[in-house]
Chain A
Amino acid sequence: MQSTKSKVIYTVLAWTIAGLIFFPIFWTILTSFKTESEAIASSPSLFMFDWTLVNYQDVLSRSPYFLHFSNSIIIAVGSSILGLMIAIPAAWSMAFAQTPKTKHLLMWMLSTKMLPPVGVLIPIYLLFRDFGLLDTRIGLVIVMTLINLPIIVWMLFTYFKEIPKDILESARVDGASLSQEIIYVLMPIALPGIASTLLLNIILAWNEAFWTLILTAADAAPLTAFIASYSSPEGLFYAKLSAASAMAIAPILVMGWFSQKQLVRGLSFGAVK
């Protein structure tokens, strides 16, 4: 049992950390309603300023927000679904048909996430150029899938290994083929895990900025590239940049809010038995 004192300390600590994490988002949203001069004022006001929607109007008239928005949706959802299609059979084999090398393979997959992306920048750029994938949505879907695949496999593996092997073996004896075993038995049982993996990967792909900035120009540019376009050589327009940022993060923030229960359950799955 935790003492009341330690409970209070933990609660205060949790709120402080949450506040620190949330403050930049809060400040960005606040700035998006200010004028440019108020946005760069040396003594900024928290709420006492002239609230305006002019930044949102400017941003919407200056750039094709909905094109970027639809690009973001296609890239994030597309890469997550493609990732799941590859990762589900992979995680199945790692959870239910283990060999002595499975553990090493999983570690190796994860180790690719430790590689700085810039290390593979030139080869990937050249491949994209030669295959005509630069500034295409399909190109971005492929690269996002590859980047997030290790995380998808790991998360699914964690879920799958909690499922009793007997159930899948029973399906096999009942005459199910491997694909039927996965579609009719494994996936419905692991649905909460698959859903949280999908959600997390949509968020990761939505927020990814390195590859989207490098591999896109106009047609396939998602919202991350849209935000970056407001940081230009002519100067920084903080209020407009904030309005663009608020519009870029709003969809994922709303999605995250509604799916937080699922996300927390997915991320903490298997941690406590």
Chain B
Amino acid sequence: MGSIHLKQVTKSFDDVEVIKPIDLEIRNGEFMVFVGPSGCGKSTLLRIISGLEDTTSGNIEIDGQDATHLAPGKRGLAMVFQSYALYPHMSVRNNIAFPLKRAKMGKSEIEKKVDEAAKKLNLVDYLDRKPSQLSGGQRQRVAIGRAIVRQPSAFLFDEPLSNLDASLRVNMRLEISELHKSLNTTMVYVTHDQVEAMTMADRIAVFNKGVIEQVGSPLELYQNPKNIFVAGFIGSPKMNFIKTTKQNDVKVATIGVRPEHITVADGDFIWKGKIGVVEHLGSESFLHVTLHDGTGLTVKASGDTPLKYGDTVKLTVNDDKVFYFDDSGLNISDSVSNLHQVFFD
């Protein structure tokens, strides 16, 4: 079991409301990712779930039981911190055994569980080392080991990969995803990195200024963002936004097109502009184009594109992949059709 239900949860520090009333159901076995820019309240909400912060109002249910006022250690959750938060004076073995000792488990059972966890996480050779003698990735694995021995009903991860270098981050991302598949336990994962969110999540909750803008699967958020914030946050590089002043019946204020949906045209074209920086990633390239009216667009091109700085380029767009937002930022693409002529002809 491992379902978490947040009902009208709020949090204020003094007079500042950092979490506005939030309702969210995290299903049993689900990999839920909280994503958003820094200061949006995602880590605070995770800490509220863990019990390290109190709620100002609202209720938290874990496995159907009210856990709003339960102490962190009594919630049956395990947490992995950004800083690893290992006990520096204890060996890896004692770090992993710490929660089991607190639960007054027998010595032989503790040994068995620690050995199992160490095998699972490739830590067998390091059990007698102190955390200071380990690399960043190994430390993170110890932190995960300390979490899995408890067999919690849910894991909470607070930006666990932020302190690792880029290549290690990719490896650890895979390891955590594999761990989720093998344990089949609920995981709640906080990150500001939308690539992590997209690659790991079953569902993503996008946070902004203390509210959840949208909850859905990675593809749902990518294909059907609820508003301009989600559209801009999900997808890398981010979606291009073009303000429009053209008169229209449905009050479209902004048009959004992802870089991968703009193509370099030979014949008919919609926009014409000058290429600035070209970013070559090998498998693909990103062109930063400035249109005649000063609007900047990012365009995805093939990895071996001959286009270079200073070239003039004609661009067209895939009609189905254009998003329309009203002046409040809401995605109104579904309620409008055939706007191509209005905006692009």
Contact = CB atoms under 8 A, between A and B. Distances in A.
Interface in B50-92: 50-52, 71-74, 77-79, 81-83, 85-89
B42 interface: no
B102 interface: yes
B73 A188 contact: no
B173 interface: no
Contacts of A169: 52, 72, 79, 81, 85
B81 A166 contact: yes
Contacts of A185: 87
B73 A174 contact: yes
Contacts of A24: none
B85 A166 contact: yes
A171 B87 contact: yes
A11 interface: no
Name A's interface SS. helix
B99 interface: yes
A176 B87 contact: no
Interface string B305-338: 0000000000000000000000000000000000
Name B's interface SS. loop
B149 to A, nearest CB: 10
A174 B52 contact: no
B222 to A, nearest CB: 33
A177 B87 CA distance: 16
A52 interface: no
A170 B99 CA distance: 10
Which interface class (under 10, 10 to 19, 20 to 34, 35 or more) fits B?
20 to 34
B123 to A, nearest CB: 17
A170 B85 contact: yes
Contacts of B71: 172
Nearest to B52: A169
Nearest to B98: A174
Given A167-B87, A189-B88, A175 B73 contact: yes
Contact of A174 (B83, B88, B89, B102): B102
A136 B79 CA distance: 52
B87 A175 contact: no
A172 B52 contact: yes
Given A173-B52, A173-B72, A180-B102, A166 B83 contact: yes
A164 interface: yes
B150 interface: yes
A188 B89 contact: yes
Contacts of A175: 73-74, 99, 102-103, 150
B146 interface: yes
Given A167-B87, A188-B89, A189-B89, A174 B99 contact: yes
A51 to B, nearest CB: 50
Interface string B5-26: 0000000000000000000000
B89 A173 contact: no
Nearest to B84: A166
Contact of B78 (A164, A167, A173, A180): A173
Interface in A168-207: 169-177, 180, 184-185, 188-189, 191
Interface string A146-172: 000000000000000000101101111
A171 B90 CA distance: 13
A176 to B, nearest CB: 5
A184 to B, nearest CB: 8
A164 to B, nearest CB: 6
Contacts of B81: 166, 169-170
A164 B83 contact: yes
Nearest to B77: A173
Contacts of B83: 164, 166
Residue of B74, B79, B87 with most chain A CB atoms under a 10 A cut-off:
B87
Contacts of A174: 73, 78, 98-99, 102, 146, 150
B78 to A, nearest CB: 7
A173 B209 CA distance: 27
Contacts of B50: 173
B102 to A, nearest CB: 4
Contacts of B74: 175
B102 A176 contact: yes
Contacts of A188: 87, 89
Given A185-B87, A189-B89, A170 B103 contact: no
A22 to B, nearest CB: 37
Residue of A164, A166, A176, A191 with most chain B CB atoms under a 10 A cut-off:
A166
Contacts of B85: 164, 166-167, 169-170
A175 B79 CA distance: 11
B134 to A, nearest CB: 15
Contacts of A171: 87, 98
A224 to B, nearest CB: 38
Nearest to B78: A173
A36 B7 CA distance: 86
9 contacts: A164-B85, A166-B81, A170-B85, A170-B86, A170-B146, A175-B73, A180-B102, A189-B87, A189-B88
Given A169-B79, A177-B73, 6 more contacts: A173-B50, A174-B73, A174-B146, A175-B74, A188-B89, A189-B89
Q: Which 3 A-B pairs have the closest CB atoms?
A: A175-B73, A170-B85, A174-B99
